[in-house]
Every structure is written in C-alpha cells, then in structure tokens.
Amino acid sequence: MLTEEHKAGLQASGYCVMEGVLSREETADVRRRLVAAAAESERRGVPIYREHLDPNDRNVRVFNLLDLDPIFLELIQHPVALEIVRHVLTDDFIISNFTANIARPGSGSMKIHSDLAIVMPEPWHSPWSLNVIWCLDDVTADNGGTLFLPGSHRLERRSDLPPDIAERMTPFEAPAGSVIAMEGRLWHTSGANRTPDQERALLFGYYTRSFIRPQWNHNVGLSAKTQASLTPEMRRRLGLDLTSNASLYADL
Ligand SMILES: O=C(O)CCC(=O)C(=O)O
C-alpha cells in the first residue's frame, strides 16, 4: 500500500495521504465506536475537553483509546500503519499515544506545534516520530482540517520558525477512510471548524523511536483486562514489560 510516491512525499514534504485504507462501512463503524468511547471516557471521569489544548469545548478529545474499545488496538497495529511506521522509524519504535480529536462546528485552532517538539527538546535532526492520522470524516479546509506549515519538517529549532507562521498554514484535505501520515517534525495545528453542521473526527496514532519517553503512561492507562489481551509484541511496543529499549544495544 505504501508506494514510492508516498515515500517520496514523506521525504520531500513530511507527509503523505493514503486514500481508501478503511472502507466506508469500516469508517462508519470506527466512528460510531469513537463516539461511544468518548461517552465511556466521561463516565470514567477522564474529561473530553482540555482547556490547555483547545480554545473552547467544541473540540472533543478522547484519550486512552486503547483501553476503551478493542477496535483501537486493531487500528494501532493495522498493517498499513505499521508499514509506514517501519519505513520512517525503522523497527525500533514504540506506541507513544493514541487519541482522538473531534472538531465540532465552532471549534478553534490549538497552538501550533510539532509532535516531536512535544516529546523531546531541540535540535530536531531526524524523523524520530510519526503520527498516523485516521480520517473518520471527510477532512476539508472548512471543517477543521489539520493545518500544517509546508517544509517545516526541515526546521531544527523553534527559532527557525517564520514570524508569519499563522498566515502560512495550509490545510490537509482527505476523504473519510484515508490515512494521513505526518512525520513528527512537521509543525501543525487543528483548523477551526467554520461549518454550521459538519463534524471532523480524526484519530492520532503516535509512534516514536524507542528511546523517547511515551506521551501516555500505558502502564496506568490500560486495565488488567486490556493488558491480558495483548500479544508479547504489543506489550513491548507499549512499554509494559520490565525491559524497554534493550534492543538498541545491538547497534553499539
Ligand atoms: O486535531 C487536529 O487537527 C490536530 C491535533 C493535534 O495536533 C494534537 O492534538 O496535538
């Protein structure tokens, strides 16, 4: 599924779009289960609005997806996602986080950031992280399509960012069922949803090299039941075992 064109896009632009990864029925099923997961998150007392992230409560954030429905465990290890991850990060990767952001009409942009800058200090020389974004709705400029700064995956320091960054932001657009692979150095933000009635639901599967601390503490987030359902490989990718990045010794 990952073509030479996708690889060239990742290299040249820091992202690629793969359409039709999920069928229409699969997309609708995951979306329905995401809405149920948001309700379950609230029931568990994990808020779905975070003031430090979004300007108002029109954004619905769902954390700890992997514990909320097994469908998200399937998606995080979907063969298409892992093919892109291995291409960008090598096999030495961990699952850092898996979250959702539903931008509802009236939602605004969060702060412009890169996902690598969130988990490690500058300088950012290498593509050491990757977001696999699952589009559960059509993503458009109007309904809050993620905005990115073209070419910013080559910037190594915050001081390299242009002063007019806000004016230069460009929207991703992709049909529902697509995957947008965005390497961790690309600066981006959520778009404002200016439509009267369209929601924009995205899932963010975040993967990093194994020497970077995960964004989410899966040891605490995953229930005993979820942990018991995991393969040895998933336990390793989620940092649930006693050892973590021992494989790196092989490279010394
Ligand atoms: O929802 C979006 O379009 C972007 C979300 C994002 O960048 C984040 O949650 O860190």
Could you tell me the residue ranges of all domains in the chain?
4-251
- Ligand 1 within 6 A of CB of 109: no
- Distance, CA 1 to ligand 1 centroid (Å)? 25
d(CA 62, CA 47): 8
- Distance, CA 236 to ligand 1 centroid (Å)? 26
- Ligand 1 within 6 A of CB of 136: no
Residue with the smallest CA separation from ligand 1 atom 2 is: 190
Mean pLDDT in residue range 103-120: 98
- 195 pLDDT exceeds 90? yes
Question: According to the CATH classification, is domain 4-251 in 2.60.120.620?
Answer: yes
For the chain, what is the mean pLDDT? 96
Give the Cα-Cα-Cα angle 218, 184, 244 (nearest 5 degrees).
Answer: 35
- 249 pLDDT exceeds 90? no
- Distance, CA 107 to ligand 1 centroid (Å)? 12
Mean pLDDT in residue range 153-164: 98
Widest distance between CA atoms in the chain: 56
- 246 pLDDT exceeds 60? no
Closest atom of ligand 1 to CA, residue 59: 1
CA–CA distances in Å: residue 237 to residues 82, 97, 99, 115: 12, 11, 16, 18
- Ligand 1 within 6 A of CB of 131: no
DSSP for 76-106?
Answer: HT-HHHHHHHHHHH-S-EEEEEEEEEEE-TT
d(CA 207, CA 51): 25
| Chain Cα centroid distance, residue 3 | 21
User: Which is more confident, 252 or 30?
Assistant: 30
d(CA 243, CA 74): 24
Strand partners, 180: 17, 133
Closest atom of ligand 1 to CA, residue 191: 3
Cis, peptide link before residue 55, omega less than 30° from 0:
no
Closest to 225 (Cα-Cα) out of 44, 37, 67 = 67
- Distance, CA 184 to ligand 1 centroid (Å)? 12
